[in-house]
Chain A
Amino acid sequence: MSEKPLIIEESAVKGGDFEHGGEASSKIKNVLKKLGIDNSIIRRVSIASYEAEMNIVIYAESGKIALEIFRDKIRITAKDKGPGIADIELAMKEGYSTAPPEIIEMGFGAGMGLPNIKKNSNRLKIDTKVGEGTKLVFEMDLK
């Protein structure tokens, strides 16, 4: 599994920047479209990547989203400097959210993000440390 990715694309994401939140995922979607990747996979990657990106915008100070394309899979890494996740088990529950009301008024923080990332991926790994940040790595297999 030490095969090198064929393509790497990385974008910075700023915490609190709702105006540009989503641009990184939009870029990823366009790269995949240009490569002619299957639509159903593009859709899963786009949804998961956008959820991860909005989590950085909503909760973290700053972060990065990286796309790596391998011969047999797509990997997204979303890494942030932020509060971290205190209880991953709770965060993985649909409907559980720590988002403040003003975020919910914007249409986010429904507690669907992480479960939705998991459901759209073949593998999801979460590394998090309270007070430091979170790193999500998720992969979608290319058939």
Chain B
Amino acid sequence: MTAKKLAELIKGKVLSGENLLDSVRITRAFAADLMSDVLAYVAGEKKDTILITGITNLQIVRTAEMLDIPVIIVARGKQVPEETIKLAKEKNIILVWTKLILFVVSGILYRNGIKGAKINPHVRKTSYN
């Protein structure tokens, strides 16, 4: 799916990367507020995985930069600080803002064929017997 379609589906407002909406294609997503978890869990080098989060500080853009995540969705209608938008523009990362909560954003994208992110095989696997 294109980033443009994604932004439409979640009734999002595009805060940065407007010019990239047609060219960026996504197939997977990871939803989290803990950037440490994003850094530990998200695998894959295809630049097709997006981040859905309720965090708005600069570190969401830094995290996306390190992992080659091309799109960040900020959920729950939280106001995004100007410096976060500025850094996203600088790094050519699409930032989409939506009033929908993380659960609903995830549900809409899942229903439209977006799959869960590939997970690093080396993260801890707990099992309860």
Contacts and interface: CB of A to CB of B under 8 A. Distances in A.
Contacts of B34: 104, 107-108, 110, 112
Contact of B36 (A18, A39, A116): A116
Nearest to B37: A110
Given A39-B45, A43-B68, A112 B59 contact: no
Contacts of A116: 36, 39-40
B81 to A, nearest CB: 10
Contacts, number: 82
B32 to A, nearest CB: 8
B59 A108 contact: yes
Contacts of A29: 65-66
Contacts of A132: none
Given A22-B59, A40-B45, A112-B39, 12 more contacts: A18-B58, A21-B58, A29-B65, A43-B67, A47-B67, A50-B63, A94-B40, A95-B124, A107-B55, A110-B37, A119-B40, A119-B120
